[in-house]
Amino acid sequence: MESRHRPGILSVAPTAVRGALRASGPLLALLALTIGFALADSDFATIANLRVILDSAAVPLVLAVGMTFVIRQGSIDLSVEGMMAACSLLFACVVANDRMQVNLGWFGLPAAAALGGVFGLANGLVVTRLRVPSFMATLGMGAIALGAAMLMSGDQPPLIQDPVLRQWGLGQTFGLPNLALAAASCLVVGLFVEQYTRLGRYGYVIGGAEGVARASGLDVDFYKVLGFAFAGLLIGLAAAMESARLGLGHVGIGEGKMLGTITAVVIGGTPLSGGSGSVRGSAVGVLTLAVLANGMVFIGATPDLEKAIQGAIVLVAVVVANWHLRDRLRIVK
Amino acid sequence: MTAVALRAEGLSRRFGETLALREVTLEVRQREVVGVVGENGAGKSTLLKLLAGAIAPDAGQISVRGAAVRWREIRDAADAGIGVMFQEPSLVPGVSVAENILLGHEGPAVRFGIIRWRKLFALAKVSLAKLGIKISPAAVTHSLSFSERQLVAFARALAVEARTREAPIILLDEPTSALDDRDIAAVLRAVEELRMRASVVFVSHRLEEVLRVCDRIYVMKDGQCVAECDARTSTVDALQRLMVGHAMGTDVTREVAASHVEGTVCLEVRQLGRRDEYADVTLAFRYGEVLGLAGAAGSGCEELCRTLFGIDAPQSGTMLLDGQVVTLRDPSDAVGRAIVYVPAERASEGVIGEMSVAANMTLAYLAQFCGRWAIDTRREWDVAELWIRQLRIATPSATARVSDLSGGNQQKVALAKWLVGERPRMLILDHPARGLDVLARRDILAAVRELARDGVCIVILADTLDDLLAVSDTVIVMRDGRISARYSVAGDRPTQQLILEGMV
Amino acid sequence: MAPFTVLIALVLGIGAVVPSFLSAYSLGVLADAASVILLLAIGQTLIVVMGGIDLSMAALASLTSVIVALLLPELGAGAVLGALCVAALIGALQGLVHARAQIPSFVVTLAGLGICSGIALAIAKTTVPVAEHYEVVGWLDARSWGVPHAFAFGVTLLALFQVALGCLRFGRYLYAIGMAERVALLSGIRVWRVKTLAFGASGLCSGLAGVCMVARTSSGNPTIADSLLLPSIAAVLVGGTAITGGHGSLARTLLGVCIVAVMRVAVAVAGIAPAYEPIAYGALVIIAVAFTVDRSSIGIVK
């Protein structure tokens, strides 16, 4: 039962303030973290280090934009690591490399993205047609993609020999890392899709009230599949970016990325149950984790703990976000 | 004679074993507002869901403007020009008001797949303007108050007008519940305006409002249409009498209690309150007494029972069990203190369909059926057989799956669950006879009176006022979260109409 | 019955192609391959029956292997006991957070996976060989009459848990929660306690799996068991336990483990590239869930 009171100014204001706080929470956390590390070590707050942070955040950002769409519609994608592996191998095989004669040059990027899109499509179909819960479907799909990557890799991972692409992966333009610029473009595209297309808007509807969506005649299954496919495209692109930087197609290229991506999206304000959140918040989340990892090196903490810290962060974030929803009869599986 | 806009002929609908609607026939003419009234469980909501296309009838036919229709989903009905506002706000919280109003029908505002927001807002404003409310179409829906969301749902129903060239048919389910006076006035004004160009079905338990805006009124009871009245000549009193059925309650099942000896107080609540549910509830529940709670949906009766069983914590007031202040942390805490509860939704809350009768019966007090380590299945079986006999449960054996039993027998199993251990202090029954046949109903109520004779403190939310008066010693009527009347059945026995007046 | 026929078909099919597959030695190898997955699958079954999932089991097993390998020289048997207690505690903690904070089990255990894996990597960047007292766990790696001790241990544990599920209150509650958690709550069952205990048990199983790995490789490694998560989940699902919960049994899981083990060995025996393993498990998991998911109870698939 909701409030029966007449909404006067006084009763509206606190909600507005609370809402604003919740929205800017992630940003405040990022600022606090940055300032904290800057105070701890003066070498942290240099332009050079800023570039390092942006560079390290590039691939995670592309992944997070895609993951935002999936989580917002109420699903989850646990296939990131396997999909990145497969797309990385494909990319390395179709651009100038030491194993095959193919040389697609820049077209390697859309090729990798396309493979990612196909895998994403498969994810969506398994969820909507076979009625397999998304965490299980993507877990299985990820393994299949990983196996495919292993097949493509064979005994020796293919080395990328295209100098232009390698330069793109490692170099800068206007003082900013190329990959960071590419990631920023993906962010802009994500924002546009989120605000101005049905894929974006219906994602909010399906995640927030799927029953209402169906009753209103929305083709829920179609948009769910589209959401997975969109995320898949971005995962493929991210794999290509990382491969260009590393210079090879690698089966382990996605290792550890899954937890990091989900953590970034969650702390950026998108609830795991879906229905709200924006890629803007996910970008803040990605930057926060990048600053955290970078700063930890400066204060001497071991980088191995990164995974453990991400796990702890996502746990705390989800517990805090869901605390007010607790109910004695609420069923959570 | 004005043309008929919507006609339902012989509609029937069953949910599991319950016959929710039985051969209902009604019609709505063009430029007319038709009201539908009835007690809880009379079938009003089911009827509306059928007319909206949310569910399909088992029998009967719906025709729109003379043409028979067969809808598969709400969208089909919407395309035929039927706009609905359901009782539960069916809006999407995370998107703007405009998106909610035009959900699924954004067509004109989308070009080449790109959403043109200005156009979307303009379209939404058209519907909002019909209600004369100042809600911004860009506002995010979850930031609105409940009343505002109710109004947006209304605007959504009205949006169907833009999609059809014919006069629309608007279905409203309790449109003014939980609204403040200013918004109620806006809604009623909008309904009166609608009459000039549309047909409206107005379902409500607020009889004064129904009489004010409607032209004709259908009265429903027990899934049937029992009367059709002209609103101009009808009164609240007459409507209530029709809703209740026969004037004087003739209850065969109740033996006239001689002088009722008051038992000691089992549970006492003082100024118990829960925001937006109920407030200032002070009651004494006594051993050996059946206390019946009567109230419409949202009156606080069901919510109070949830608090008594520890499902929700009270936000103000105190509870005293046998004289001691007590705070119930959760249902297992309540059960630990011998306060037990038979829920209304038997299939999803009362019994586990896939488990056997015996396993269901011992579920709550399983510890008492264990030997040193393991469950003593022999003892389990024996006790189950005992209660199968006691309550006359029709089942092939104690090991049969509960889902194979009829509703009445399932309910008996749900009740037996609380009786296999030591006698409970307090037994709360939430609509225990819902959807049961006459015999099962009689058995359950007889068992309840038997338990009261044994000294158990009983709280019952009866399904019908008939049952309420048949089984209760005390009747408490609630309305809008507060107690509106108290009656002692042995003393000044209230009539059903009196109770109904306290409820609405 | 379907899983059983699948198993027979697989064994006979492979036996027809590679006759030596059915020899005692080869079956022993099979049992070896199955032991660790069996231990993980036992714990996973409890959780799946309850309607949840535990994604942290493999990482916890790896962490346990590291702890045991590091402490075995100094504490001997005490290291094993201590590590098992820690594993059970970590499991129970996850269950507690899941039950009390009302967070979906896959989220809590996903975070748990990260935390355990991260801690394991922080403690030991690479393989930690067992310096002394290997014999405390070494007996697990041996065989008697061709049967690996680890496998026998696993089967014994499975039988024990099966009895517990069937006879104890805990088992009844587990199934009740999986079938209809709401009814369980309204019947006064302390669901959070059952959940915590179940996850503690699965943590214990993870720990035992880790100990087994130490016995097999004479060392501890922070990522050694990671690849076994999917096969163990596949084993539970292929055996016929539905992911929606409320049904299934450990006997079925044993079948599933056998099927998965046969697939593993068949791949090696038939000379198929190891890359096909994850593909097979992934496909298996999807197919198994697609066939066994209880449509009526799922409603909206997220």
Q: Could you report the per-residue pLDDT of B50-62, keeping only the tens digit for each?
A: 999 988 999 999 9
Give the pairing of strands B199-203 and B216-221: unpaired
User: What pLDDT digit, counting tens, does each position of A230-259 carry?
Assistant: 999 999 999 999 999 998 898 999 988 999
Give the pairing of strands B216-221 and B33-38: parallel
Interchain CB distance below 8 Å, A15 and B147: no
Q: Give the mean model confidence (pLDDT) for residues C192-216.
A: 95
Specify the range with the lowest mean pLDDT, choosing from A58-62, A283-287, B36-40, C275-279. Answer: B36-40
* CB-closest option in C167, C169, C180 to B352: C180
Q: Which amino acid is at B284?
A: A
Q: Give the mean model confidence (pLDDT) for residues B433-455.
A: 86
Specify the range with the lowest mean pLDDT, choosing from A228-232, A287-291, B162-166, C222-226. Answer: B162-166
State whether the Cα torsion B393-B396-B401-B404 is positive or negative: negative
Size of interface A-B (CB pairs under 8 A): 99
Q: Name C61's Cβ contacts closer than 8 Å, sequence gap at least 6.
A: C36, C40, C87, C206, C207, C209, C210, C213, C224, C225, C228
pLDDT at A208 over 50: yes
Label residue A21 by pLDDT band (50, 70, 90): low
Query: Looking at this predicted complex, what is its ipTM?
Result: 0.88
Per the model's pLDDT, the better-predicted residue between B294 and B296 turns out to be B294
pLDDT at B1 over 90: no
Instruction: Identify whether the C-beta of residue C25 lies closer than 8 Å to the C-beta of residue C274.
Output: no
User: What pLDDT digit, counting tens, does each position of B279-292 carry?
Assistant: 999 999 999 999 99
> Smallest Cα–Cα separation from B446: which of B412, B413, B475, B492?
B412
Q: Mapping DSSP to helix (H, G, I), strand (E, B) and coil, where does residue B34 land?
A: strand
| Residues in C touching B349 (Cβ below 8 Å) | 182-183, 186
> Smallest Cα–Cα separation from A261: which of A81, A25, A141?
A81
| Domains and their CATH numbers in chain A | 40-319 (1.10.3470)
What confidence score (pLDDT) does residue A4 get? Answer: 35
pLDDT at A129 over 70: yes
Chains interfacing with B (3 or more CB pairs < 8 Å): A, C
Phi and psi (nearest 5°) for B13?
Answer: -155, 135
Q: Which helix (H) or strand (E) holds B229?
A: strand B224-230
Q: Mapping DSSP to helix (H, G, I), strand (E, B) and coil, where does residue B426 land?
A: strand
Label residue C32 by pLDDT band (50, 70, 90): confident
- Nearest-neighbour CA in chain A from C12: distance (Å): 26
Q: Check if B422 contacts C (Cβ < 8 Å).
A: no
**Alpha-carbon distance C94 to B431, whole Å?**
38
Radius of gyration from C-alpha coordinates of chain A: 21
- Nearest-neighbour CA in chain C from B422: distance (Å): 15
What confidence score (pLDDT) does residue A9 get? Answer: 39
Q: Give the mean model confidence (pLDDT) for residues A324-332.
A: 86
Q: Give the mean model confidence (pLDDT) for residues C243-248.
A: 87
User: What pLDDT digit, counting tens, does each position of A159-188 carry?
Assistant: 888 888 888 888 888 888 999 999 999 999
Report the percent of chain A where pLDDT is more than 90. Answer: 58
User: What pLDDT digit, counting tens, does each position of C114-151 carry?
Assistant: 999 999 999 988 888 887 888 878 888 888 877 888 88
Q: Scan for tokens 């496919």, then name that residue.
A: A229
Instruction: Identify whether the C-beta of residue B298 lies closer than 8 Å to the C-beta of residue B177.
Output: yes
What is the DSSP annotation of B352-410? -TTSBHHHHHTSTTGGGGB-SSSB-HHHHHHHHHHHHHHTT---S-TTSBGGGS-HHHH
pLDDT at B175 over 90: no
Q: Mapping DSSP to helix (H, G, I), strand (E, B) and coil, where does residue A322 land?
A: helix
What confidence score (pLDDT) does residue A144 get? Answer: 96
What is the DSSP annotation of C113-135? HHHHHHHHHHH-SS-EE--S-TH
What's the helix, strand, coil split of chain C in %, to 5?
Answer: 75, 5, 20
**Alpha-carbon distance C301 to C210, whole Å?**
34
Q: Give the mean model confidence (pLDDT) for residues C165-181.
A: 93
**Alpha-carbon distance B27 to B199, whole Å?**
10
Q: Enumerate residues 207 to 226 of chain A having a beta carbon within 8 A of any beta carbon in chain C.
A: 210-211
- Nearest-neighbour CA in chain C from A73: distance (Å): 8
Q: Name B480's Cβ contacts closer than 8 Å, sequence gap at least 6.
A: B298, B299, B300
Length of chain A: 333
Q: Check if B426 contacts C (Cβ < 8 Å).
A: no
Burial of B48 (0-12, 13-18, 19+ CB in 10 A): buried
> Smallest Cα–Cα separation from C186: which of B408, B314, B343, B365?
B343
What confidence score (pLDDT) does residue A22 get? Answer: 64
What confidence score (pLDDT) does residue B247 get? Answer: 40
Average pLDDT, chain A: 88
Q: Check if C167 contacts B (Cβ < 8 Å).
A: yes
CATH 1.10.3470 corresponds to the domain C21-291: yes
| Per-residue tokens: A24 | 């800017």
- β-strand partners of A124: none
Burial of B327 (0-12, 13-18, 19+ CB in 10 A): exposed
Q: Is C124 left (phi over 0), alpha (psi -120 to 50) or beta?
A: beta
Instruction: Identify whether the C-beta of residue A288 lies closer than 8 Å to the C-beta of residue A26.
Output: yes
Report the percent of chain C where pLDDT is more than 90. Answer: 54
Label residue C299 by pLDDT band (50, 70, 90): low
Q: Give the mean model confidence (pLDDT) for residues C203-219.
A: 92
Q: Name A37's Cβ contacts closer than 8 Å, sequence gap at least 6.
A: A44, A45, A291, A294, A295, A298, A299
What confidence score (pLDDT) does residue A84 get? Answer: 97
Report the percent of chain B where pLDDT is more than 90. Answer: 43
pLDDT at A88 over 80: yes
Phi and psi (nearest 5°) for A43?
Answer: -70, -15
Specify the range with the lowest mean pLDDT, choosing from B301-310, B447-456, C30-39, C148-157. Answer: C30-39
- Nearest-neighbour CA in chain C from B214: distance (Å): 39
Average pLDDT, chain B: 87
**Alpha-carbon distance C297 to C172, whole Å?**
19
| Per-residue tokens: C206 | 């993870």
| Domains and their CATH numbers in chain B | 4-45+53-206 (3.40.50.300), 350-422 (no CATH)
Instruction: Identify whether the C-beta of residue C55 lies closer than 8 Å to the C-beta of residue A259.
Output: no
Label residue B145 by pLDDT band (50, 70, 90): confident
pLDDT at C296 over 70: no
Strands (E), B247-337: 265-274, 278-286, 290-294, 316-321, 324-325
Label residue B466 by pLDDT band (50, 70, 90): confident
pLDDT at C226 over 70: yes
pLDDT at A264 over 70: yes
Strands (E), C162-259: 219-220
CB burial readout B362-383, b (16+ within 10 A) else e: bbbbbeebbeeeebbbeebbeb
What confidence score (pLDDT) does residue B261 get? Answer: 64
Q: Which amino acid is at B218?
A: Y
Quote the pTM value: 0.88
User: What pLDDT digit, counting tens, does each position of A187-201 carry?
Assistant: 999 999 999 999 999
What confidence score (pLDDT) does residue B253 get? Answer: 46
Instruction: Identify whether the C-beta of residue B192 lies closer than 8 Å to the C-beta of residue B222.
Output: no
Q: Check if C245 contacts B (Cβ < 8 Å).
A: no
Instruction: Identify whether the C-beta of residue A73 lies closer than 8 Å to the C-beta of residue A271.
Output: no
Q: Of A24-33, A35-44, B408-417, which one has max mean pLDDT?
A: B408-417
**How are strands ordered across the β-sheet holding B59-64?**
B18-29, B4-15, B59-64, B67-69
Alpha helices in A129-219 (DSSP H): 134-153, 163-170, 178-196, 198-208, 210-215
CB burial readout B23-45, b (16+ within 10 A) else e: ebebbbbbbbbbbbbbbbbbbbb
Q: Give the mean model confidence (pLDDT) for residues B102-115.
A: 87
Report the percent of chain C where pLDDT is more than 70. Answer: 95
Tell me the domain boundaries of chain C: 21-291
Label residue A13 by pLDDT band (50, 70, 90): very low
What confidence score (pLDDT) does residue C23 get? Answer: 72
Give the pairing of strands B82-85 and B216-221: unpaired
What confidence score (pLDDT) does residue C130 get? Answer: 83
Q: Check if B413 contacts C (Cβ < 8 Å).
A: no
Q: How many helices (H) and strands (E) does chain A have?
A: 13, 2
**Alpha-carbon distance A330 to C24, whole Å?**
52
pLDDT at C20 over 80: no
Give the pairing of strands A176-177 and B110-111: unpaired
Give the pairing of strands B169-173 and B82-85: parallel
- β-strand partners of B26: B8
Per the model's pLDDT, the better-predicted residue between A62 and C275 turns out to be A62
User: Which of A72, A135, A206, A320 should be substituted to probe chain C, the one whose Cβ sees the most C Cβ atoms within 10 Å?
Assistant: A135
pLDDT at A11 over 50: no
Q: Name B36's Cβ contacts closer than 8 Å, sequence gap at least 6.
A: B26, B44, B47, B48, B201, B202, B203, B204, B217, B218, B220
User: What pLDDT digit, counting tens, does each position of B203-237 carry?
Assistant: 988 888 999 999 999 999 888 898 898 988 988 88
**Alpha-carbon distance A41 to A299, whole Å?**
7
* CB-closest option in A11, A15, A275 to B94: A275
Give the pairing of strands B426-430 and B457-461: parallel
What confidence score (pLDDT) does residue A2 get? Answer: 35
- Nearest-neighbour CA in chain C from B430: distance (Å): 13
**Alpha-carbon distance B504 to B208, whole Å?**
10
Burial of B389 (0-12, 13-18, 19+ CB in 10 A): exposed
What confidence score (pLDDT) does residue C16 get? Answer: 75
- The CA-atom distances, in angstroms, between A3 and each of A7, B142, B181, B272, B331 are 9, 13, 14, 18, 26
Give the Cβ contact number of residue C296 at 10 Å. Answer: 7
Q: How many CA atoms lie within 13 A of C7 on its CB side?
A: 18
pLDDT at B82 over 60: yes
| Per-residue tokens: B79 | 């395309």
CA–centroid distance for B157 within its chain:
22
pLDDT at A324 over 90: no
User: What pLDDT digit, counting tens, does each position of B240-278 carry?
Assistant: 888 876 543 344 445 444 445 678 899 999 999 998 889
